[in-house]
Every structure is written in C-alpha cells, then in structure tokens.
Amino acid sequence: MLNEITVDATVNGRPEQLRLDAGVTLLDALRDRLELTGPKKGCDQGACGACTVLVDGRRVLSCLTLAAQAGGREVLTVEGLGGGHPMQEAFVRHDAFQCGYCTPGQVMSALALLDEGRAGTDEEIREFMSGNLCRCGAYPNIVAAIREVAGR
C-alpha cells in the first residue's frame, strides 16, 4: 500500500487493529476488512444514509469518514446490537422495512436520534431521519417504530 497506516479502534465492543491505506473509508474497512456487511454502500456520496454507523455514540456516514478518523474510538454497527435490540424488534413489528437495504442505517440513525433527544414529535423524527433514504417508502412505519421505542 502506498500510504499505509495502522488504525486501532473498538468495533462492536472488540478491539481491532487494521493496517490499511490512509485513504480507505470507514465503510470499506468495516465491510472489506472486518466483514461487517450491515453498513451498506448505497450512493457512496453521503446522500442516502445506508452506511450510517455510530462513532463514540454519534451517527456518521461511514462512506465519507476515513477509517483513520475512527482511531482510538468506539465504532458501533448494526451487528454490534446483536439480535433482539428493542429498535430492531420495533422495526419488525411495524414492518419498517421492505427490501431491507437501508434498514441497518435507519436503525443506527434511529438510535442516535433517541440519544440526541430528538424524538419529541413525528415531525421531529422525520426531520432528523431525513438523511436516511428508503427507496421502498416505508417512512410512516419507520416513524411508528421509532415512536414506539421513544415511548418506553
């Protein structure tokens, strides 16, 4: 590799050390090096939100984030939630997915939205989830799932 660096990060609770080119995105490192396929490569331009992960509890578009920026940080992908997370269960109960491609990014954004305290109204949920696109149009169901978890 031309400009190889070492990135030490905690990914889904596990310490990871990656040797990679300095220009590798966090999305590519997660998918290609760590085989975490939850974050999706949708538009690869930061416009769709399918690649959303949490870094130190804040949502980031992993296609626009260099892997090097995750050094020393905690990265959480949908795989790190395990099965049976309340948000995942709410998405299933409310049929808040159809093809499922955007679902991992939607779930991660929804978790961040709750942590940010931005689930006061349906309008607020829609506004702060607007960076996550769903080509199938499951938006009302996504809002219902988030509303359910926010009400707990």
CATH of the domain at 115: 1.10.150.120
Domain count across the chain: 2
Query: Do 102 and 68 belong together in one domain?
Result: no
At residue 83, the pLDDT reads 85
Per-residue pLDDT of the chain (152 residues; tens, 9 = 90+): 579 999 999 999 999 999 999 999 999 999 999 999 999 999 999 999 999 999 999 999 999 999 999 999 999 999 999 989 999 999 999 999 999 999 999 999 999 999 999 999 999 999 999 999 999 999 999 999 999 999 97
- Which residues does residue 59 pair with via DSSP β-bridges, in sequence order? 54
pTM of the model: 0.95
In a 3-state reduction of DSSP, which class is residue 19?
Answer: strand
Q: How do 52-55 and 4-11 pair as beta strands?
A: unpaired
Tokens representing 50? 């399918």
- What is the residue range of 97's domain? 83-150
Tokens representing 137? 């149009």
Of 80, 106, 123, the residue at which a domain comes to its end is 80
Query: Do 63 and 96 belong together in one domain?
Result: no
At residue 152, the pLDDT reads 79
At residue 144, the pLDDT reads 98
Query: Do 136 and 116 belong together in one domain?
Result: yes
Please check whether residue 113 is in contact with residue 101, taking contact to mean a CB–CB distance below 8 angstroms: no
At residue 1, the pLDDT reads 52
